[in-house]
C-alpha cells in the first residue's frame, strides 16, 4: 500500500473555524440579535465539529492540497455534509426545531465564506497552486 499521509495545516483549520465564526456573527447582526455568547457558541461550535468531521475526509485540511480551481467542489460537498448536522446539533443544544431555510442559508453563506477564505489562502501561500 502506498497511501499518502495527510499533513494538516493549522492555518487552514483556524481559518475555516474563523470563517464559521464570522458567518455566525454576521447572521446575528443581520437579525439584530443581542450579543449572547451562549447562542453564538451554540451555532459556532457545532459548525466546527461537523466541519472537522467532513473536511479531513475530503482532504480540505491537507497542507499540500489541490489548488482551489480543481478542488472547489470539495468545499461545497463538505458544507452540504456538515451544515445540516451542525444545525441539528444546534437544535438539540438550544431545544429549537431545525428549520430548512436556515440550513440552506447556512450552507450558502458557509460555502461563500469558505471559498473566499480558500482563495485568499491560495493567493498568500502559492507553493502548491500550480499542481
Cβ contacts of residue 28 below 8 Å, gap of 6+? Answer: 35, 39, 40
- Whole-number percent of the chain with pLDDT over 90: 66
DSSP bridge pairs for 8: 62
- Would you state the pLDDT for residue 31? 84
- Would you state the pLDDT for residue 66? 77
pLDDT digits (tens, 9 = 90+) for 46-104: 999 999 999 999 989 887 777 888 889 999 999 999 999 999 999 999 999 999 999 99
Amino acid at each position: 500500500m502506498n497511501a499518502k499521509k495527510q499533513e494538516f495545516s493549522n492555518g487552514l483549520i483556524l481559518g475555516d473555524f474563523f470563517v464559521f465564526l464570522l458567518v455566525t456573527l454576521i447572521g446575528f447582526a443581520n437579525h439584530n440579535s443581542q450579543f449572547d455568547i451562549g447562542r453564538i457558541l451554540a451555532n459556532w461550535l457545532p459548525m466546527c465539529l461537523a466541519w472537522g468531521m467532513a473536511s479531513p475526509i475530503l482532504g480540505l485540511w491537507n497542507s499540500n492540497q489541490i489548488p482551489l480551481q480543481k478542488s472547489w467542489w470539495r468545499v461545497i460537498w463538505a458544507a452540504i455534509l456538515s451544515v445540516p448536522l451542525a444545525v441539528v446539533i444546534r437544535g438539540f443544544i438550544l431545544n429549537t426545531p431545525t428549520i430548512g431555510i436556515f440550513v440552506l442559508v447556512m450552507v450558502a453563506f458557509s460555502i461563500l465564506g469558505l471559498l473566499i477564505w480558500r482563495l485568499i489562502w491560495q493567493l498568500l501561500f502559492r507553493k502548491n497552486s500550480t499542481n
